[in-house]
Chains A and B, each alone.
Chain A
Amino acid sequence: MPRAVRSPKPAERIAKDLIAASATALVLSILNKGDSYGYAIIQEVRELSGGQLEWSEGMLYPVLHRMEDQELIESFEERGENGRKRKYYRLRPDGRRALAEERRQWDVVHAALTKAWRTA
């Protein structure tokens, strides 16, 4: 089980806009590795970013539900290890395509910034 990572100081956090922009790409990437549920997705985002990507956790759900409406992901219910029913999400074919497109776009942004900073 992942341990709680202490929240970094506000100055070290990533700006809200950037978090919102990367939310879809992150969720798609995490679900591409396997089905998951809200709480675990948040944990994974935190681990992947070393605690720097700090979401307002509840806001993940509207993001998930919007992606569900767009048919990028779908949900199903299963009993979790605590015996309670839990809603899991899995990637749909449209989601896989969207992930490929997100990757392409983020790669372009990343490459451009890297180049710009190398020559700066």
Chain B
Amino acid sequence: MSDEHEIEAAITAYRAQLEAAAEIGRSDLAEIEDHLRELVRELRETGMPVGAAVVEAAHRLGEPAALAREHARVRSAFGAKLSRARAWSATALVVIQIGLALALFNGPEIPVFFVTTLVLPAIVVIGLAARLTWARALIVGMSSYALLEHVIYLVLLRNEVWGENPWVTAAFMVISLGTFAFVAPWRRGEITQAGAALVVLFAAFSAASSSFGFGYTGSLDVMLLPYAALSATIISGCGIVLRARWAAISAGAASVFLLGCWLQLADSLFDYDSSWAIRGALLGTLGLGVIAAAGTAVLSWRTARTKLGTLRSVLS
């Protein structure tokens, strides 16, 4: 084996041990790897043979398992902590957004919407202001989804959207864009896989909560699937924050329920005198939700720490 190969093999092995012991962001891994390379170079300059230099460098850097655990304590489960300036700027924008959404709310007045437009957002906003990283991940999901939704609706339903209240639509877009700019993971590895599960979950949550608005009839047999889908996404979100394995089961169930909503909606849409664009937008939203919930199930299963979860991760 040539010297270069030996060094590369040793570095790959060290990285693998770090990754196995705890979750480490890619940029943190790259930083440690850079250090390892510098150490090997320095030791070889003193005349040490490659094999010994690699062993000594790994020894000086420290036990990979201990190092990874220490990292995991600082870097929280869902990604890097936002700076105060970014967290509080985003908080202010999200508060405005919630206020606007409440003021303009035009869905059926049922307790579910009280939960989805006020209670849950309020909890996440408090989390964001406290710089908790799961709240940041959820806000990344919320703002990027809001932007996507606006763009799609603007393309598909230009007249309906602009016709109603163009200034409000424009304001919503600007605020979502601003929020996104403050919370987005601009650097590699700023959001972990567990955080990504929460980002993706938001599309499922939006689909579930809008499935109420689409076909609200008041009768339980029609609304059973939307209720089930919404509960499953919310429960899954709690599970991910706790880093529990059951979160994945709940997300999987949400995906199935959303698929049920999709079929129900596809069936009933033809009773309405709605345009193809509206049908397309509604079915697209739900379809995206089905895929997002399935993706959340995979991500949350892979990143769960324990079966039942731990309360400590709520404060990370």
Contact = CB atoms under 8 A, between A and B. Distances in A.
Of B28, B46, B60, B80, which is in contact with the most chain A CB atoms at under 10 Å from its CB? B60
B62 A4 contact: no
A57 B74 contact: no
Contact of B28 (A56, A61, A86): A61
Interface residues of A, number: 24
Interface residues of B, number: 29
Contacts of A66: 74
Contacts of B35: 38-39, 42, 57-58, 61
Contact of B71 (A42, A57, A62): A62
Interface in A15-50: 37-39, 42
A39 B39 contact: yes
B83 A71 contact: yes
Interface in A33-84: 37-39, 42, 56-59, 61-62, 65-66, 69, 71, 77, 80, 82, 84
B-side interface mostly: helix
A87 B67 contact: no
A84 B37 CA distance: 11
A86 B35 CA distance: 10
Given A65-B28, A71-B83, A84-B34, A57 B75 contact: no
Interface of B: 27-28, 30-32, 34-35, 37-39, 42-43, 45-46, 60-62, 64, 67, 70-71, 73-75, 80-81, 83-84, 187
